A and B are shown apart, each in its own frame.
Chain A
């Protein structure tokens, strides 16, 4: 069916672009491979978990950096956590910012940290919307009777 074929192509292309632009990395592939009949929504579930957790972490980060006296160790711990969870779904760009972020924490550089916070928030929202778009296409594809190409 044209509709399905079209959606499939759209999905494939879109996914490829995400990889090319560095939003996602190999880890995301791993997730996709884990998905199977017993867990048909595995990727969506995992990514949703990631979103939830990230929002919480970002809030904590913002709060920690708003304090009069910043506890850099705590900030670093949060960033470390965020780095870990972004690595879980392969959110490469987010991860990269986290690395820079941690360096600033080590240097106790407030400005650097604040800058990174903005950056990481930005990257996070980018990858979030990209993934949401991806899932939308997938849903459409399935609704049209197609299956997600592996």
Chain B
């Protein structure tokens, strides 16, 4: 609450890192403030979550990282986490005196980039800058991909990153150093020229989002693609990349909503647990983790976690106005709330994305409930809890199922999801066709030329790419789906996630942080049995559609993916689904 907002970091990064600390315990607040100050960070303290959100909203670019306690009286720390992730896309570190695995898991699932146990030592706080740096790198990478690797510099505001900084953070970079594309780039020492491409965070205000939705509706869910949307929206400063990632989130959100509805309506129909767990790609891992958490809440909610997440994502983004519209699911009558506190989202189900801000709260509730499983998009891979490997497998399996139906030419990842949908026509078909379609089309676009997609994928750091299937152009054969190096399991450290992702396939996919969310979304999606008819894959050959799916997703489809999926109904495509 104190702390004048200074300009972004100076050359001596990480000194001057702007940290916002949120904790209802005044003693800890004081201690943390002191510790962070000793680390030469700029600290702002806050005793209430709501207040913290206000602060963050007031100055969108005023902070670099948020540290928050899990237990707070006015708002659950996880909710705050979601909000921050969605609205501001800042790295968030959770803290708690409770170190139970389930809680930590929840944190990770919700997108925390780290989870610290109290009592916290100063040395633990010293390195929090890595999360900020990492994010930047990913953003840059995305931009880079997106813009064909034009001279993108790492620094955001001038010389934030000195050579030394870059150098000594080499560990972080090693993973993507492997990526050929970036190799040269990052090897460059010429960071002095920071004039180019600074990626600005796009804030999806209500208005902006409405334009977006309008455009999407105009185009039609099944044909939607970032470029088209962008053109229709006619917002000069908006980039295709922005739209693409937003679109992805939106889709996820819809899926999530749908799932929630489905869940509520027919729990029995969807047996997530049945999902086969064989080598699901990493992506699913994410799912599984989510599922795991979900277990506490609802039986079959696992799958929904993805959707929840999405919903939240979008929700937060759009001031919770989204929710309503996105929810296109039929109102479930007897749906079990995904989580205890899930409000009744069904009320607001509308097939279209009609903004219904009135139920914003509803949405938020819904979202929050699912938060357990949701993986904020901006969360680096490290957040993929491995616990969920089982679920991941399931997802994969599901994907595979869908996959098999795909025409060989189509990259697996996307297809799988779609496929699954078509496969599933069991339970209540969700009215979220638009969602499905979107989902599908979204993927479709990703599938577009393999060559380019890979690049494209990396562009979307935020995209939740559910299918983080290892994108391997060469392995298009659906039949040969083999889980690529999906190392979702136990990836608690972003870096390791990244490395996992990157190393196996030496593809140029940057480790993506946010893609994780996508992964599980899909699984949720799949589990929902949307009964989505085979949607044509539009835009497959749209090279311009930058896959939201970070390229790096593709990297790590490994067969060791240890998702505990039950290899049941869905023959999941091993290969591609991995959620980075």
Query: B26 to A49, Cβ gap below 8 A?
Result: yes
Query: B30 to A90, Cβ gap below 8 A?
Result: no
- Bound complex: CA of A88 vs CA of B207, how far in Å? 44
How many B residues have CB within 8 A of the partner chain? 19
Residues in A32-52 with C-beta less than 8 Å from chain B: 33-34, 39, 42, 45-46, 49-50, 52
Partner pick for A77 among B71, B97, B121, CB 8 A cutoff: B71
Contacts of A87 in B (CB 8 A): 97, 118-119
Q: Does B38 contact A (CB under 8 A)?
A: yes
- Bound complex: CA of A31 vs CA of B35, how far in Å? 9
Known: A34-B38, A34-B122, A53-B25. A84 touches B30 (CB 8 A): no
Query: B30 to A46, Cβ gap below 8 A?
Result: yes
- Bound complex: CA of A142 vs CA of B55, how far in Å? 41
- Bound complex: CA of A30 vs CA of B97, how far in Å? 17
Contacts of A34 in B (CB 8 A): 31, 34-35, 38, 122
Residues in A73-90 with C-beta less than 8 Å from chain B: 77, 80-81, 83-85, 87-90
Q: Nearest Cβ distance between residue B21 and chain A, in whole angstroms?
A: 13
Query: A88 to B34, Cβ gap below 8 A?
Result: no
Residues in A47-103 with C-beta less than 8 Å from chain B: 49-50, 52-53, 77, 80-81, 83-85, 87-90
- Bound complex: CA of A70 vs CA of B31, how far in Å? 33
Query: B34 to A84, Cβ gap below 8 A?
Result: no
Residues in B276-325 with C-beta less than 8 Å from chain A: none
Known: A34-B38, A39-B34, A42-B34. A85 touches B98 (CB 8 A): no
Q: Does A15 contact B (CB under 8 A)?
A: no
Query: A53 to B97, Cβ gap below 8 A?
Result: no
Partner pick for A81 among B25, B31, B35, B121, CB 8 A cutoff: B25
Contacts of A147 in B (CB 8 A): none
Does more than half of chain A's interface fall in helix, strand or loop, or is it mixed?
A: helix
Query: A88 to B98, Cβ gap below 8 A?
Result: no
Query: A90 to B26, Cβ gap below 8 A?
Result: no
How many A residues have CB within 8 A of the partner chain? 24
Q: Does A27 contact B (CB under 8 A)?
A: yes
Q: Does B474 contact A (CB under 8 A)?
A: no
Known: A30-B119, A30-B122, A46-B31. A84 touches B25 (CB 8 A): yes
Query: A85 to B35, Cβ gap below 8 A?
Result: no
- Bound complex: CA of A49 vs CA of B32, how far in Å? 13
Known: A31-B31, A46-B31, A49-B27. A88 touches B119 (CB 8 A): yes
Contacts of B34 in A (CB 8 A): 34, 39, 42
Contacts of B149 in A (CB 8 A): none
Contacts of B122 in A (CB 8 A): 30, 33-34
Query: A88 to B38, Cβ gap below 8 A?
Result: no
Contact with A along B62-74 (1 / 0, CB 8 A): 0000000101000
Q: Nearest Cβ distance between residue A19 and chain B, in whole angstroms?
A: 15
- Bound complex: CA of A39 vs CA of B122, how far in Å? 16
Contacts of B24 in A (CB 8 A): 81
Query: A53 to B26, Cβ gap below 8 A?
Result: yes
Residues in B111-127 with C-beta less than 8 Å from chain A: 118-119, 121-122
Contact with A along B94-120 (1 / 0, CB 8 A): 001110000000000000000000110
Closest residue on chain B to residue A52 by CB atoms: B26
Contacts of A26 in B (CB 8 A): 119
Partner pick for B27 among A39, A77, A80, A85, CB 8 A cutoff: A85
Q: Nearest Cβ distance between residue B431 and chain A, in whole angstroms?
A: 37
Closest residue on chain A to residue B24 by CB atoms: A81
- Bound complex: CA of A39 vs CA of B25, how far in Å? 20
Query: B121 to A50, Cβ gap below 8 A?
Result: no
Query: A30 to B121, Cβ gap below 8 A?
Result: yes
Query: A27 to B119, Cβ gap below 8 A?
Result: yes
- Bound complex: CA of A84 vs CA of B96, how far in Å? 7
Contacts of B30 in A (CB 8 A): 45-46, 49
Q: Does B191 contact A (CB under 8 A)?
A: no
Closest residue on chain B to residue A42 by CB atoms: B34
Q: Nearest Cβ distance between residue A115 and chain B, in whole angstroms?
A: 22
Q: Nearest Cβ distance between residue A22 and chain B, in whole angstroms?
A: 15
Starting from the known contacts A80-B98, A81-B24, 19 additional A-B residue pairs (CB-CB under 8 Å) come to: A26-B119, A30-B119, A30-B121, A34-B38, A34-B122, A46-B27, A46-B30, A49-B26, A49-B27, A52-B26, A53-B27, A77-B71, A80-B97, A85-B25, A85-B28, A87-B118, A87-B119, A88-B25, A89-B27
List 22 A–B pairs whose Cβ atoms lie within 8 Å, in order of A's numbering.
A26-B119, A30-B122, A31-B31, A33-B122, A34-B122, A45-B30, A46-B27, A49-B26, A50-B27, A53-B27, A80-B97, A81-B71, A84-B25, A84-B96, A85-B25, A85-B27, A87-B97, A87-B118, A87-B119, A88-B119, A89-B27, A90-B119
